[in-house]
């Protein structure tokens, strides 16, 4: 009803409902806000309650590729061919960690100084040519979770993005990060040319908050003089 007691037609109530907004004048604490809406007719008949939940999430995910070192980065080198080389620490007590109040919906890996299709990104048990010369769209399963990977070139860099629409916790993203490896299928280490490889990772949660970038420089094997 209006303030005078007159009934409003449904079209006017629709206008009222679509104009409702939630706003806070101070820094909101993290969490959900739940609103229940119910119609009551002039005759006193109430509709079923309809629920709207608004989630406040402004905290960025935290990614650390080597917890035994200061900062969030890791480093390695290409010392063998046809060998999986982890993009994060594999040592007990220094394993890569992901911290996020909600779940991670996207993981973006950017690779630089890639020379040819011998350079492979291993995701779980799946091998992908980093430069996109093979598959550019793929489904991979890590720790029981399905991730969809897609490739895009960004200038001279190579970007692989992995998305997940079902994960409910950060442990699934952590498992994927720990399951990323570089592999070079050249015939010998001495055939590996070019500058040191670079890899950077950014995590994006379901509220579109991006983590700081964490990097893994990977030194190429010294070439013979």
**What is the full DSSP assignment across 98-115?**
EE-SS-EEEEEEEEES--
What tokens appear for 92 in the block?
A: 């007990």
Residue with tokens 């013979």: 224
Q: What is the pLDDT of residues 30-49, one digit of tens each?
A: 667 788 888 777 778 888 88
pTM: predicted TM-score of the whole model, two decimal places: 0.78
Specify the DSSP class assigned to residue 27.
P
Q: Is the dihedral of CA 188, 155, 159, 198 positive or negative?
A: positive
Least confident of 53-62, 81-90, 164-173, 191-200: 53-62
């Amino acid at each position: 009803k209006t303030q005078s007691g007159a009934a409003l037609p449904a079209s006017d109530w629709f206008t009222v409902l679509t104009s409702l907004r939630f706003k806070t004048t101070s820094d909101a604490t993290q969490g959900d806000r739940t609103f229940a809406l119910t119609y009551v007719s002039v005759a006193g008949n109430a509709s079923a309650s309809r629920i709207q939940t608004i989630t406040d999430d402004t905290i960025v995910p935290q990614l650390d590729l080597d917890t035994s070192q200061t900062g969030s980065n890791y480093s390695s080198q290409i010392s063998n061919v046809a060998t999986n080389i982890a993009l994060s620490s594999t040592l007990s007590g220094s394993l890569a960690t992901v911290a996020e109040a909600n779940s991670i919906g996207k993981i973006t890996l950017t690779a630089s100084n890639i020379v040819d299709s011998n350079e492979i990104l291993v995701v779980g048990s799946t091998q992908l040519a980093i430069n996109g010369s093979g598959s550019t769209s793929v489904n991979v399963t890590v720790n029981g979770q399905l991730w969809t990977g897609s490739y895009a070139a960004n200038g001279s860099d190579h970007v692989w993005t992995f998305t997940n629409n079902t994960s409910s916790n950060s442990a699934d993203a952590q498992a994927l990060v720990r399951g990323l490896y570089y592999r070079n299928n050249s015939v010998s280490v001495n055939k590996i040319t070019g500058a040191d490889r670079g890899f950077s990772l950014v995590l994006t949660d379901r509220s579109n908050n991006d983590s700081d970038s964490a990097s893994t420089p990977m030194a190429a094997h010294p070439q013979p003089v």
